[in-house]
């Protein structure tokens, strides 16, 4: 039974019902919400007999490799058999996060924008559904599937669960609402095997990830009288641990666990076209707003979880970002 407290905009439903060959895209370097929302919408459309394509510029991460997908994932638009009739953009606070390659097509094909990031400018040319009160974009896709007459079951339910659990810290962050938990309840009523999904999500570490987290724990810096926790993931450290970039995912949450830490900051060194950049991840709790810090560097996100990419190496990034972080608690 759909949640009567939520209404899916009519223009979103209409766009999905009138166009065929629907290309589903989410932000590059996708997290569990981006992957879960993409897979869930793909399953929903497939259950309705619609022709669907799944695309992500950087592919889906290995740790979610066990998820069932409704169709093969495209990483390269040149593999597209002709132009899609509609693009549905998911979990992307701005069109740029969908990746360079999709930008031309976004101007040529009608776009439905479904997202929960505050500040999303509404770049969908066919329809926009932006609701920052939603815990996850996957929650919105769950409501959408139900509005289209589907029950949340099977692979669709698994994908919605991955999205919800990923963006709510397994139903523990402040974005967890009664309606989020009601949706989780409907997933269980639909037969979701929660223990089995959790085991696939949790008991899935590589040895190199364990070694990397050990190093990050021993080398973490606690600055600003205990209010700022910082970790730097250099490429050298990844090499020494035999770890991948993906293995550092989630470590920023460990820094937030330290008593007294109000802002957790993870700086990951990246090389792009020969220059060194830093992927910044910020976490906070309650009223402390780190989205404002990320926004100063062209990034975005949510009040308590935000990110950006900075055109400097990690140590320099720390120097320039620290004064902005101090505004969070001042």
Residue ranges binding ligand AMP (CB under 6 A): 31, 93, 97, 281, 299-302, 305-309
| 91 binds Mn ion per the rule CB under 5 A | yes
Query: Using CB distances below 5 to 8 A depending on partner kind, what does residue 307 bind out of Mn ion, ligand AMP, none?
Result: ligand AMP
Among Mn ion, ligand AMP, none, partner that 164 touches (CB below 5 to 8 angstroms by kind): none
Nearer to Mn ion, 126 or 305 (CB): 305
**Is there binding between residue 31 and Mn ion (CB under 5 A)?**
yes
Among residues 135 and 228, whose Cβ is nearest to Mn ion?
Answer: 135
- Name which of 143 and 302 has its Cβ closer to ligand AMP: 302
Residue 34 binding: pick among Mn ion, ligand AMP, none (C-beta 5-8 Å cut-off by kind): Mn ion
Span 128-167, contacts to Mn ion by CB under 5 A: 137, 167
For the CB of residue 236, give the shortest distance to Mn ion in the complex, in Å: 28
Residue from 33, 57, 139, 249 binding Mn ion (CB under 5 A): 33
139 touches, from ligand AMP, Mn ion, none (C-beta below 5 to 8 Å by class)? none
SS (H, E, C) the chain: CCCCCCCCCHHHHHHHHHCCCEEEEECCCCCHHHHHHHHHHHHHHHHCCCCEEEECCCCCCHHHCCCCCCCCEECCHHHCCCCCCEEEEECCCCHHHHCHHHHHHHHHCCEEEEECCCCCCCCCCCEEEECCCCCCHHHHHHHHHHHCCCCCCHHHHHHHHHHHHHHHCCCCCCCCCHHHHHHHHHHHHCCCCHHHHHHHHHCCCCHHHHHHHHHHHHHCEEECCCCEEEEEECHHHHHHHCCCHHHHCCHHHHHHCCCCCCEEEEEEEEEECCEEEEEEEEECCCCCCCHHHHHHCCCEECCCEEEEEECCCHHHHHHHHHHHHHHHHC
- In the complex, the smallest distance separating the C-beta of residue 41 from Mn ion, rounded to whole angstroms, is 14
# of chain residues touching Mn ion (CB under 5 A): 6
Residue 199 Cβ vs Mn ion, minimum distance, rounded to whole Å? 23
Q: Among 6, 16, 24, 34, which residue interacts with Mn ion (rule: CB under 5 A)?
A: 34
Segment contacting Mn ion (CB under 5 A): 34-42, 48-56, 70-78, 311-319?
A: 34-42
Residue number, 128 or 281, with CB nearest to ligand AMP: 281
Q: Between the CA of residue 219 and those of 47, 160, 213, 231, 234, what are the distances in Å?
A: 49, 36, 10, 7, 12
* Residue 317 binding result from ligand AMP, Mn ion, none, given CB thresholds of 5 to 8 Å by partner type: none
**Least CB distance to ligand AMP at residue 24 (A):** 17
The site for Mn ion (CB under 5 A) is made up of 31, 33-34, 91, 137, 167
């Amino acid at each position: 039974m759909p949640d009567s407290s939520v209404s899916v905009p009519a223009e979103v439903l209409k766009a999905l019902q009138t166009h065929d060959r629907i290309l589903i895209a989410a932000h590059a370097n996708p997290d569990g919400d981006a992957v879960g929302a993409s897979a869930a919408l793909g399953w929903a459309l497939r259950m309705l007999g619609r022709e669907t394509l799944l695309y992500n510029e950087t592919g889906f991460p290995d740790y979610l490799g066990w998820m069932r997908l409704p169709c093969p994932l495209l990483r390269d638009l040149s593999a597209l058999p002709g132009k899609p009739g509609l693009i549905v953009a998911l979990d992307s606070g701005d069109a740029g996060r969908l990746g360079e390659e999709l930008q031309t097509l976004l101007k040529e094909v009608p776009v439905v924008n479904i997202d929960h990031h505050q500040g999303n400018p509404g770049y969908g040319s066919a329809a926009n559904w932006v609701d920052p009160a939603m815990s996850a974009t996957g929650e919105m896709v769950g409501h959408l599937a139900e509005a289209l007459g589907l029950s949340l079951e099977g692979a669709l339910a698994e994908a919605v669960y991955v999205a919800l659990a990923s963006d709510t810290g397994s139903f523990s962050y402040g974005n967890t609402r009664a309606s989020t938990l009601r949706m989780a309840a409907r997933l269980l009523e639909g037969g979701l095997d929660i223990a089995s999904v959790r085991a696939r999500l949790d008991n899935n570490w590589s040895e190199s990830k364990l070694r990397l987290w050990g190093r990050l724990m021993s080398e973490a810096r606690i600055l600003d009288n205990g209010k700022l926790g910082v970790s730097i993931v250099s490429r050298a450290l990844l090499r020494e641990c035999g770890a991948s970039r993906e293995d550092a995912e989630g470590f920023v949450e460990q820094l937030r666990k330290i008593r007294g830490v109000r802002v957790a900051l993870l700086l990951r060194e990246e090389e792009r076209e020969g220059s060194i950049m830093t992927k910044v991840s910020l976490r906070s709790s309650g009223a402390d707003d780190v989205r404002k810090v990320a926004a100063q560097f062209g990034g975005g996100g949510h009040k308590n979880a935000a990110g950006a990419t900075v055109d400097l190496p990690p140590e320099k990034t720390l120097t320039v970002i620290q004064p902005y972080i101090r505004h969070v608690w001042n």
